[in-house]
């Protein structure tokens, strides 16, 4: 299967191009964004050298699935999905923070707690917790949204003090974050999963807040299987999970956490296949539908271009 790790399209009305860690973003007439979710994979804010088959399609389709399922809570940027790897939608001005919400002590939060920290982004944590324990109430632990390098933990007070987000807007973001996490938790439970933690990004369009980027995907979220969770916690065993955390753990085992001087380990075919299978497994599980690879094969890039150009031409004609 061909992987898409870089694109260089020239779409009708294209004004600019931006390459993110995972997404290739095309600005159309300063009005629309064409966002291709590539097969690049990042961990510890570093893009790894190999693409993951089907990853881009999985992320794009899961995001579209949850955007549609949460549109009654907050409007979102997507207007159409002209290709399984591409979403098109409103050009929004992003807020300079990411809203991270955690229902369980896992991942980064656990690593901080294990080091002795009892407050994360202003949220106080009690003594005596173990890895993957459930919080009494979900906690919000925002991060800065770095253009380059690592995102950093930041408190609500610091966000407002530094004028990254106004107090009024931040309170709206917190409210949306809690409502979205509640909906995601309910949807995951119906599929036998636990939504452990996730992050949301928001932006402004014509003065109105929109949910942007992705939502409840394995790149932005962590999932556990519900079955056996309590027993594994009781026995202090690792949780069976569907997320990118196992890739982070593999990298840590190989001596890499994105720190200066560390070398990215070689990703052999075995780990690439394992990552791809994990993404497909999550798609099947969280959506309740069977993953179907996008048509195109070795001509996947041409199929993407054809689908997007046709969509944009029709959109421009209608406009």
Spell out the domain ranges in the chain.
14-92+266-318, 94-247
Rounded mean pLDDT of 186-197?
A: 96
* pLDDT of the residue at 147: 63
Cβ atoms of 267 and 48 within 8 Å: the answer is yes
pLDDT in tens, 258-299: 999 999 999 999 999 998 998 898 899 999 999 999 987 778
pLDDT-based confidence at residue 149 (cuts at 50, 70, 90):
low
The CATH superfamily holding the domain 14-92+266-318 is Phosphorylase Kinase; domain 1 (3.30.200.20)
**Nearest CA to 148 among 4, 9, 19?**
19
On the question of pLDDT at 18 being above 60, the answer is yes
Rounded mean pLDDT of 213-231?
A: 93
pLDDT-based confidence at residue 65 (cuts at 50, 70, 90):
very high
- With pLDDT > 90 as the criterion, what percentage of the chain qualifies? 84
Phi, psi for residue 184 in degrees, rounded to 5: -60, -40
Rounded mean pLDDT of 193-198?
A: 96
CATH number of the structural domain 94-247: 3.30.470.20
* pLDDT of the residue at 282: 84
* pLDDT of the residue at 180: 98
DSSP label at residue 316: H
On the question of pLDDT at 191 being above 90, the answer is yes
pTM given for the model: 0.89
**Nearest CA to 201 among 100, 81, 103?**
100
Question: Using alpha carbons only, how large is the chain's radius of gyration in Å?
Answer: 20
Length of the chain in residues, anyone?
A: 319
pLDDT in tens, 230-252: 999 999 999 998 777 788 889 99
């Amino acid at each position: 299967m061909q992987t898409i790790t870089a694109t260089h399209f020239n779409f009708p009305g294209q004004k600019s191009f931006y390459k993110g860690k995972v997404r290739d973003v095309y600005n159309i007439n300063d009005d629309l964004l064409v966002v291709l979710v590539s097969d690049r994979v990042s961990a510890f804010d570093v893009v790894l050298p190999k693409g993951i088959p089907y990853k881009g399609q999985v992320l794009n389709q899961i995001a579209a699935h949850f955007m549609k399922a949460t549109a009654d809570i907050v409007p979102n940027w997507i207007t159409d999905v002209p290709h399984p790897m591409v979403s098109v939608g409103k050009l929004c001005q992003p807020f300079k923070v990411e809203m991270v919400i955690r229902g369980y002590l896992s991942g980064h939060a656990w690593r901080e707690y294990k080091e002795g920290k009892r407050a994360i982004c202003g949220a106080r944590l009690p003594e005596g917790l173990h890895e993957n324990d459930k919080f009494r109430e979900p906690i919000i632990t925002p991060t800065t949204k770095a253009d380059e390098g690592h995102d950093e933990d930041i408190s609500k007070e610091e966000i407002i003090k530094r004028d990254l987000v106004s107090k009024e807007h931040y309170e709206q973001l917190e409210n949306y974050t809690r409502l979205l996490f509640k909906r995601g938790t309910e949807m995951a439970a119906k599929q036998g999963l636990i939504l452990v933690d996730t992050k949301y990004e928001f932006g402004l369009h014509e003065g109105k807040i929109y949910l942007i980027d992705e939502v409840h995907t394995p790149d932005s979220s962590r999932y556990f299987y519900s079955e056996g969770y309590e027993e594994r916690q009781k026995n202090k065993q690792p949780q069976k999970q569907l997320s990118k955390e196992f890739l982070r753990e593999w990298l840590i085992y190989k001596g890499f956490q994105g720190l200066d001087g560390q070398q990215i380990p070689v990703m052999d075919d075995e780990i690439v296949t394992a990552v791809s299978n994990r993404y497909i497994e999550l798609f099947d599980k969280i959506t309740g539908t069977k993953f179907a690879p996008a048509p195109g094969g070795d001509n996947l890039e041409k199929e993407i271009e054809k689908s997007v150009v046709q969509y944009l031409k029709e959109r421009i004609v209608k406009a």
